[in-house]
Each structure stands twice: as C-alpha cells, then as structure tokens.
Chain A
Amino acid sequence: MTTETPDRQTLDSGVRIVWGVGSLVGAVVLAGIAGAVGFATVERILRPAGVTFLVAAVLGVVYTLARYRAWWYAVEADSLHLSRGVLTYVHTVVPFVRVQHVDVSRGPLERALGLSSVVVYTAGSRGADVTIPGLTPERADRLQQRLKRLAIAAEGEDAV
C-alpha cells in the first residue's frame, strides 16, 4: 500500500443548507414554546416568539457556519480520520481493518439538494458508526468504494 499524503477533505458547501434548515426548524420549535409560555404568563405571543426565533436563528446560522468550517476528513494510509465539532471538538480514527460495512444514505432534504452521506460501521460498542455528511452522490459513491477496497485490503480477519 502506498503511503498517501494526508489530505484534508472538506464537505460540500451544500451541507450548510441542510444543517441551516435543521437549526431553523429548531428555532421555530423554540419560538413556538416561547410563544406558548409567553401566552400563559404575560398573554403575549408574538414578542417572545419573535425574539426567541431571531436569537435562535442567528445562533443556529453562526453554529452551522462554524460547524462547516470545523469539519474535515482524511483517508490516510491505514485509517479514516474525521474531525469535527464546534463546542466539543472530536477527532475520530477509524482503522480500515475495523470497518464492518459502509453505507451511503440520503435523507429527503439531502436528496433535494443533491447530497449524500457515507456511514462507516465498526464493531465497536460505543459510537460504533461514524457519518460523513455533505458529499455529492458521486463523491459519496467513490468514497464508499474506496473505503470498501481499503477495508478488504487491510484484511480484517478478526474484526472483533
């Protein structure tokens, strides 16, 4: 196996929309709760709901952008590296020998935006699967094939 240079891959920028929509939905839910609470306590809905929505939405957008900037993955010589996280930074190493199978999954929003996720499963018992979101379908398929080949080449003869 040739030693590859550990090149950091970033996600497709479209994933920001997926995440952004997610946090906007969260903001709407929060606004709903705030509105209900506002109605119950001071009989006002719009003010608390609006303020909550604005704050949550701004925070959500900022978080989404930071999350996108923080995310990278690298297919190295022996293992897959993933690094992500805004508040809690996590760097995960998945050795190819330990890969059980690799899925490509596409949620409804991802499909609408032409994106895919690659999910890598190991036999581990805590956090056994890692997901790489925000890949174009071709890129996801390529990554899946590549990981599959690498996992086979690594001869996971005794994966557990």
Chain B
Amino acid sequence: MPSKLDPLSVPYRVGVSLSRFGWLLVVGTVSAGTQRLPLLVGLFGVVLLATLAYQVAYVRRFSYELTADTFDVYSGVFSRRSREIPYHRIQNVDVTRNVVQRALGIAELAIETAGGGETEATLQYLDADTADELRAALSRRKRGETEDGATEQTAREREALFSITTRELLLLGVVGLDLRLLSFVAVTLPVVLPSVSEATPLFDLFRVAPFLLAGLAVLALAASMVQAVVSYYGFELHREGDELGYRRGLAKEYSGTIPLDKVQSVVLTENMLARRLGYASVAIETAGYSPSGDSAGSQSAVPLAERDHAYALAQEVEAFGDPTFDRPPKRARTRYAVRYALAVLVVTGVATAAVRLVEFTSPVPTATLLAGLVLVPVAAHLRWANLGYAVEEDHFVARAGFWSRRTQVVPFYRTQTIAEQATIFQRRRDLASVVVDTAGTHGWSAPSAPDIDARRASDLRETLEARLQAALRARRDTVESAVQRIDSDTSGEVDSDTPDDRGGHDHGDERPPE
C-alpha cells in the first residue's frame, strides 16, 4: 500500500515556488507603474493558480512504498517516474526541517545511494513523525529485518557517543575562523593602506588600520560563532546497531543516519588553532552525498571535540590503531623550499609589473616582497613536518597540512584505484607519490603519500594492492561462512548474530543462499 506525502506540503511548496518568482513580480510592478496594476494582479492570480494546481498534482501524484527488497518512489506530474532503490544500496538517510517546516510540522527526507552525485530520492515533505519512522523503517530493512516478524531480533540499543557542550560550540566558532584570511588581511593592509591614506588625506588610515583590523577580526569571529551555533546547536551523535545517527541545528534542524558498513574513509581535521587548544573534528565519508549536505567544510560527523575524544570516536568507526607516521625524506623538503621560493619570486615579479603598468607609486618598493624569502625555509619545513603516511593492519592513514592538518583513514577494503606517480621534478630527486582513490565524494584531495622515496613508493603501491586483495579474501570468507550457516539452518530462521556479517547483507542479496 503506497503512502502519500503530507497535505501540508502543498502550501509550503507553493510558497517556495512563488518566492522563486517573487523577484519577477517585483520587477514587473516597478517597471509597469500603477496604470497596469489590474493586469499585474490578474497575471499574479494566474501564476498563483497554476502553481497551486501543479503543486497539488505533484503532492497527489507522489507516493512511496516499502516493499520486500526495495524502496519504491512514484513521482512526476507530466512525465511519471518510478524508482526502486534496493535497501542494501542505501547509504545515508537524512531528515531536515527548517523553521517554516517546523512550524508546519513537516520534514524533508533524503535518501542517498552511491550512484551519481545527486540525491537518489527526496521526499518533500512528510509529517515530521512519519519521516522519523520511515527512516527507522529503512534502517531496519537495510539490516534485513522485516516489519512483521523479527523486529526486535537485534537489540538496537542506542548508545550515545557524543553531544556537544556549549564550550565546544563556542570554540568551534573560534576554531572555524579562516586563519589564512585573517593573516592575508594582516599582511596586505599595511602594504595597501599608506598609499590609500596618501590619496585621501582626510583620514589617516594608517593610524586607523590597527583598529580596523581588530574590528574586522571581531566581526569575523562573531559571524563564525553565530554560524557555528546555528548549524551545530545541540549536536549529538549516537550509535544504533551498525549505524550512526546525528542530530543538530538551531533554526534548521538536521538529523540523519550514517551506515557504518558503507564508510569510505574517516577524516580527522585539526587546524592550527584547534591543535593549539587540543581539539579536532571528525568527518565520515560515505559514497553517498555528504552526510549533512551543507556548504563544504561543515560536513563533519563531529564538528569539534577534545582531541582524545575525537580520536576515540574515529576509532569507533574505523579501528585504525595508533599510527606511527613515516615522513617523506628530507630532500622533499628542499623541493618545497624551491617551490615556495619560486612562488615568492613570481609574486614579486607580478607585483612589480603591475605597479609599473598602472603607474602607481607604492610606498615601499615591491622588491621588499622578497623578504618573504625568509619565510620560505620555515614554510617548507612546516609542510614537510606535517606530512606523513602509515600502513596499519587494516587501514592506510595519510596526514598532511600545516594550517589545517588532515588525517585521512582509509580501510584497505575501500580502495578503488592506486596510482604511483612522479613528475620530472620528483624524479630528479628520486621521489614519487602514491595516491589512493576511494569512492568518497568530498572535494578533498585523495589520501596520498606524497614525495616519498621512489623505491618505497613502488613498495607501497604493491603493499596496498596486496592488502586490498587480502581484505577482499577475508571479507569473502566471512560472507561464505555466514551463507553456509544460513544454509545449514534448515528452519530458515535468520541467523541472529549480526556482528560478523556486516558485509553479509550486501552480498546476500546478490547471491541468495539456495
């Protein structure tokens, strides 16, 4: 029996599409003046009616159904589409509610699968409770339980993992500040300002600059804090069987599930400030869309937690042990120094040329930019010092970045392709990089071991390949033994010990035990 969307979706959807046309209306009114007002009102009426009719039809003709193996969605007003999503292919399920939706008591539910970059199915909108129930039902189906029989087979105890404290929430605002932006402003202001104050002697901007800078910093900090509070207010993470669940948000509420057996990688991020303060954030990458489809950068599973706690949480998802990182050889550092020195030279050159072209007398000769060369060794060392990779028992761990240090943990089992590469500059120093590709979808660079010794790079490539095959064999063995267990169980009851058939669900559907 297919289910329908909530009737309250109609007014909300009408509102949304009208607000999209709103600017047209405003432009029309302004340009037409008052004489043609009746025409405009009439036109508006027509648009309103058409939208209403379309949205009523959309909501009426939209239905979904939980069948035995698939989640079916039938949609479309003019061209109909029916989509069947196999339960075991579902990655993330997210429920979001903004302020208006909360007032109306409706919610949006989005289902992600690995295919494509787009959300596989979006239900706009369901009754808020129905949405939560549907998400729970999808989780149960994914685990292979049926609605009627063995619902309570696996004890689905809800284990709270993390909830954000007010302190952490405010710290998140501080840490979330883009340090690079601030330092850029701090460097450029003293260079640019004197010449501006020369041109407009009304204000001695040079003297105002420190205040300006401080004001800017405070403003940025406040904005960052507000953003942190709004998007991560009341953040909590819990574990329910083999899924993680989260809930967050002040005005717009987000909640959703992250399936642990679909995790592609776990990423720990600590920027410079967070490192100082002893905090880190954890992001969990699945092959679906980002867990909380927000702007890039705020897609963490745990936005900010004390470092040890963050590591413990990451270990909960992927038990990667305590990696000891291998650093690239020292000659890689020379390479970065050369690269940064060239960058400084190029910037100086461009600045000089620009100053010549626009005939702008800069207060200090552009050649002073060459002073940046002093920073080159420091920068090169910091980059080098933060690089590292480790081959653990089941995981490849890569770490990089000074401003924002990222530790990416990839299970061997999730490797898609492995590439060993060396540019001519790398080969000159007998270096090479190994890049491990996964099916994750974040815009981050792939986990890699850059600029390591060329021979070690070849070894690493071979090791990673062998480890993947070993992981595949191990996975296959557990699946086969699970299948055999089910086979020998003639009564047909589903085996109740779930821990070791994490992959079994995925597999069982494609090769059903005969």
Q: Chain A residues in contact with chain B, CB under 8 A?
A: 78-79, 85, 87-95, 97-98, 122-128, 130, 154-155, 157-160
Q: Tell which of A123, A159, A160 has the most Cβ of chain B within 10 Å.
A: A160
**20 contacting pairs across A/B (C-beta < 8 A):** A92-B419, A93-B465, A95-B415, A95-B417, A95-B465, A95-B469, A97-B472, A98-B416, A122-B437, A123-B287, A124-B417, A124-B439, A128-B416, A130-B417, A154-B472, A157-B479, A157-B506, A157-B507, A159-B439, A160-B287
| Interface size grouping (class) on chain B | 35 or more
A79 close to B465 (CB less than 8 A)? yes
Interface string of B459-470 (1 = CB under 8 A from A): 001001100110
Q: Which 10 A-B pairs have the closest CB atoms?
A: A124-B416, A124-B437, A160-B287, A160-B114, A160-B439, A123-B439, A93-B418, A91-B420, A90-B421, A88-B423
Bound CA span A88–B426, Å? 9
B422 close to A88 (CB less than 8 A)? yes
Chain B interface main SS type: mixed
Q: Tell which of B419, B442, B464 has the most Cβ of chain A within 10 Å.
A: B419
Bound CA span A92–B465, Å? 11
A93 close to B507 (CB less than 8 A)? no
Bound CA span A79–B423, Å? 24
A98 close to B419 (CB less than 8 A)? no
Interface string of B475-514 (1 = CB under 8 A from A): 1100100000000000000000000000100110011000
Bound CA span A87–B442, Å? 29
- B438 interface residue per 8 A CB criterion: yes
Q: Tell which of A87, A91, A93, A127 has the most Cβ of chain B within 10 Å.
A: A93
Given A90-B421, A93-B465, A158-B503, 19 more contacts at CB 8 Å? A78-B465, A88-B423, A89-B427, A91-B421, A92-B419, A93-B419, A93-B464, A95-B415, A95-B465, A123-B439, A125-B438, A125-B440, A126-B437, A126-B445, A128-B416, A157-B506, A157-B510, A159-B439, A160-B439
Q: How many pairs of residues, A versus B, come closer than 8 Å at their CB atoms?
A: 93
Bound CA span A54–B445, Å? 39
A92 close to B417 (CB less than 8 A)? yes
Which residues on the A side are within 8 Å of B507 (C-beta)? Answer: 157-158
- B446 interface residue per 8 A CB criterion: yes
Bound CA span A91–B421, Å? 6
* Chain B min CB distance to A155 (Å): 7
Which residues on the A side are within 8 Å of B506 (C-beta)? Answer: 157-158
Bound CA span A154–B468, Å? 12
For residue A78, which residue of chain B has the nearest CB? B469
Bound CA span A9–B123, Å? 51
Bound CA span A131–B424, Å? 22
- B98 interface residue per 8 A CB criterion: no
Q: Chain B residues in contact with chain A, CB under 8 A?
A: 114, 262, 264, 287, 415-424, 427, 432, 435, 437-442, 445-446, 461, 464-465, 468-469, 472, 475-476, 479, 503, 506-507, 510-511
Bound CA span A154–B473, Å? 10
A92 close to B418 (CB less than 8 A)? yes
Q: Tell which of B421, B464, B507 has the most Cβ of chain A within 10 Å.
A: B421
B415 close to A125 (CB less than 8 A)? no
Bound CA span A157–B480, Å? 12
Which residues on the B side are within 8 Å of A91 (C-beta)? Answer: 419-421, 461
* Chain B min CB distance to A122 (Å): 5
A157-B510, A158-B503 given as contacts; is B422 within 8 A of A122 (CB)? Answer: no
* Chain A min CB distance to B87 (Å): 14
Which residues on the A side are within 8 Å of B511 (C-beta)? Answer: 157
For residue A98, which residue of chain B has the nearest CB? B416
- Within 8 Å by CB of B423, from A87, A98, A160, lies A87
Bound CA span A128–B419, Å? 11
* Chain B min CB distance to A24 (Å): 24
Which residues on the B side are within 8 Å of A125 (C-beta)? Answer: 416, 437-442, 446
Bound CA span A129–B410, Å? 20
Q: Tell which of A85, A97, A158 has the most Cβ of chain B within 10 Å.
A: A158
Which residues on the B side are within 8 Å of A128 (C-beta)? Answer: 416-417, 437
For residue A154, which residue of chain B has the nearest CB? B472
B417 close to A98 (CB less than 8 A)? yes
Bound CA span A160–B115, Å? 9
* Chain A min CB distance to B443 (Å): 9
B416 close to A122 (CB less than 8 A)? yes
Which residues on the B side are within 8 Å of A89 (C-beta)? Answer: 421-423, 427, 432
Bound CA span A91–B420, Å? 5
* Chain B min CB distance to A93 (Å): 4
For residue A157, which residue of chain B has the nearest CB? B507
Bound CA span A79–B266, Å? 26
Which residues on the B side are within 8 Å of A130 (C-beta)? Answer: 417
Bound CA span A130–B506, Å? 27
A85 close to B417 (CB less than 8 A)? no
Which residues on the A side are within 8 Å of B422 (C-beta)? Answer: 88-89
Bound CA span A95–B462, Å? 12
- Within 8 Å by CB of A127, from B437, B442, B479, lies B437
A93 close to B476 (CB less than 8 A)? no
A124 close to B438 (CB less than 8 A)? yes
Bound CA span A95–B420, Å? 14
Which residues on the A side are within 8 Å of B415 (C-beta)? Answer: 95, 98
Bound CA span A128–B427, Å? 25
* Chain B min CB distance to A66 (Å): 12
A122 close to B417 (CB less than 8 A)? yes
B417 close to A127 (CB less than 8 A)? yes
For residue B114, which residue of chain A has the nearest CB? A160
Bound CA span A160–B438, Å? 8
A79-B465, A157-B479 given as contacts; is B421 within 8 A of A123 (CB)? Answer: no
